Structure 1
């Protein structure tokens, strides 16, 4: 059953999709991936919907892949989490009201616009667990941010605040705690007043302009994943995470 994992609210041309697995920090297993993919299919295919807003219940936007999964779940149309590799016809706004870490941050990077409240942190903590960011973070982060800031996120595993993310252009609108969804709706209304066909054509052009870099980014990511896939540090990092202790890296 997946119907409760994504809450859907449609009004005034906006389809709001709310991740609803708060007890697991909205981490993606197969069921949540399939539910989000199905909801994003509706966004793209139903002409009543002009803009999507992606939000989440609970204190965390998303922690990314559920580490009980052997790999990040994917769907044929959307790729990882049902969204990472999706070719969308409608704009998607991330309304972030809690930390977006690992794959959660990669989901934010897959959206077109980002609204965040001041409690939010964005980060890629994979290296602390002996793994690498495998859902676009290794090349979308330097695309959205200055290369040295991207390197800081990827190599330290530390998060940056919403204020810093807004200052460097990752966040379109910064709002007070609890205000991200309302701010996202206001941003969506600014899009909806425009020509639907022109918005779709412009969105496609923006995506196609990024294709050359993304075409190189995915093979580079696969190589990084292959380099750590069977290394003992991967097992140690994940075990340490579940056991709530610092990892012990062999030197």
Structure 2
């Protein structure tokens, strides 16, 4: 287990659990926490033994966004990768947000920087910045319209009112709805399903999904060939086929 004063990391084989640990501040992000989160994301990206991350919060809540007390003192919770060290420079490996209690303001923007969301049924999701005279500038105004109908995203942004988790799942924002208290366990189970697959194939699929939204049709096929081609020729691809024929679990070599 790794730790910082505000962020804890725990390894579960190929999964890195990253926990924001400021429960007394509702896991709000100050400068030190932004830097610690950014360091945890870099650890996930740079360690070849890690395939997927799970981002969560301690104390029954995910994250309440920017620490307004620190902001009032002139502190900005930013790194070169944006708010909390991950909203502009999004993680280069898949990350699942495990939400209990609340993901509000920058907290929801952290979840939107992740690839998948598991949320407890009673969690509150929203971007209430306009109620404080602020703008949700950590990525929500781009990523909510990517994941929700524009009218729904607009209502969330302009009213600042929360979105019900069951409706969020129906609209595709939330992947899995958990019983209260079970979001982290369910997210880790989902992460284990991802980590069991070929790591080269997971990484290539993630890269194509993330970048492909901005490609033309012609670019898509060219870039997909560039990224996926080496995977097709890898030892892991052959191992996957042989293991299937032999009716056994594959043993990945990451090459």
TM-score bin (small chain): 0.7 to 0.9
RMSD of Structure 2 on Structure 1 (CA): 1.5
Gaps of 5+ in 1: 213-251
Contact 2:118-2:186 within 8 A present in 1 as well = yes
Could you tell me which residue of structure 2 aligns to residue 82 of structure 1?
A: 85
Could you tell me which residue of structure 2 aligns to residue 241 of structure 1?
A: none
Distance in 1 (alpha carbons) for counterparts of 2:64 and 2:213 = 26
| From 167, 177, 180, the counterpart of 1:174 | 177
Could you tell me which residue of structure 2 aligns to residue 149 of structure 1?
A: 152
TM-score by length of 2: 0.79
Residue 44 of structure 2 corresponds to residue 43 of structure 1: yes
Contact 1:72-1:81 within 8 A present in 2 as well = no
Contact 2:94-2:206 within 8 A present in 1 as well = yes
TM-score by length of 1: 0.80
Q: How far 1:131 moved relative to its partner?
A: 1.1
Q: How far 1:59 moved relative to its partner?
A: 3.2
SS of the residue corresponding to residue 188 of structure 2 reads: helix
Gaps of 5+ in 2: 216-255
Contact 1:65-1:71 within 8 A present in 2 as well = no
Residue 5 of structure 2 corresponds to residue 4 of structure 1: yes
Q: Which has the higher contact order (CA 8 A, sep 6+)?
A: 1
Could you tell me which residue of structure 1 aligns to residue 237 of structure 2?
A: none
Contact 2:91-2:114 within 8 A present in 1 as well = no
Q: Which has the larger radius of gyration?
A: 2
Q: How far 1:167 moved relative to its partner?
A: 1.2
SS of the residue corresponding to residue 155 of structure 1 reads: helix
Distance in 1 (alpha carbons) for counterparts of 2:14 and 2:156 = 36
Q: How far 1:197 moved relative to its partner?
A: 1.1
Could you tell me which residue of structure 1 aligns to residue 102 of structure 2?
A: 99
| From 185, 188, 202, the counterpart of 1:185 | 188
Distance in 2 (alpha carbons) for counterparts of 1:125 and 1:33 = 20
Distance in 1 (alpha carbons) for counterparts of 2:64 and 2:35 = 17
Spell out the pairing of 1:9-158 with structure 2 (5 A cutoff). Answer: 9-67=10-68, 68-69=70-71, 70=74, 72-76=76-80, 78-158=81-161
Q: How many residues align?
A: 210
Contact 1:175-1:183 within 8 A present in 2 as well = yes
Contact 2:33-2:77 within 8 A present in 1 as well = no
SS of the residue corresponding to residue 155 of structure 2 reads: helix
Q: How far 1:72 moved relative to its partner?
A: 4.3
